[in-house]
Amino acid sequence: MTNGMTFLEYRELAMRTAVYPAAARVQYPALKLAGEAGEAAGKLAELAAAGDRGPLLAELGDVLWYVAALTRDLVTLEAWMSRPLADLEVEASAVADLSLTGSVLRMVAAASAPAERFGKLIRDGGLGDGGSVPTEAAALMLRSARETLLHAAVAARALGSSLEGVARANVAKLASRQARGVLHGSGDSR
């Protein structure tokens, strides 16, 4: 391992728990990424009342998982994916809104873009053979996925954690669910 977990290392661990059909690749993580970011915004609203940062950090982990799934399904490797997650945090703090609310809202906007792009491809008949995503659309989805990750990093930092801490907690949660046979289903208390 390098100076901390890289995105690719996280992605490899996370994708061991991927249980969706190959026919739904790209579409499923694009849609779920938008949904999980929306759930994170909901947990942000609850944070003010409850004061428990755990649920929001868990949602950030779910967002991270779908970024990993989307980048895997788009079958791409980019230089940033090999860098330690801590390096991405430093980069994010230099360019992003450092407030928790601002970072979560920007994360939601970025996370929604791949689903929006996929919807337009469906509408316009722009999917290739076998439902493949054209190169230009894939590049836009990847930029949005990376931007989502950067805003999640800022949110994690604002919550007193780190992107790597979120990634490690997410892997542990999913490994536990996998060991107990409860990856399928819904709810945080599985």
Q: What percent of the chain has pLDDT over 90?
A: 67
Q: What mean pLDDT is predicted for residues 68-81?
A: 94
- Global pTM reads 0.91
Model confidence at 12, pLDDT cuts 50, 70, 90, reads very high
Contacts of 26 (CB under 8 A, 6+ apart): 70, 73, 74, 118, 131, 133, 141
Contact 143, 31 (CB under 8 A): no
Contact 171, 7 (CB under 8 A): no
Q: Token pair for residue 85? A: 């997650």
6 backbone dihedrals φ, ψ, rounded to 5°: -90, 165
Contact 4, 164 (CB under 8 A): yes
The predicted-structure confidence for 153-187, as pLDDT tens digits, reads as follows 999 999 999 999 999 999 999 988 888 888 766 66
- Closest residue by Cα to residue 114 from 37, 31, 22: 31
Q: What mean pLDDT is predicted for residues 62-87?
A: 95
Higher pLDDT, 56 or 90: 56
Model confidence at 122, pLDDT cuts 50, 70, 90, reads confident
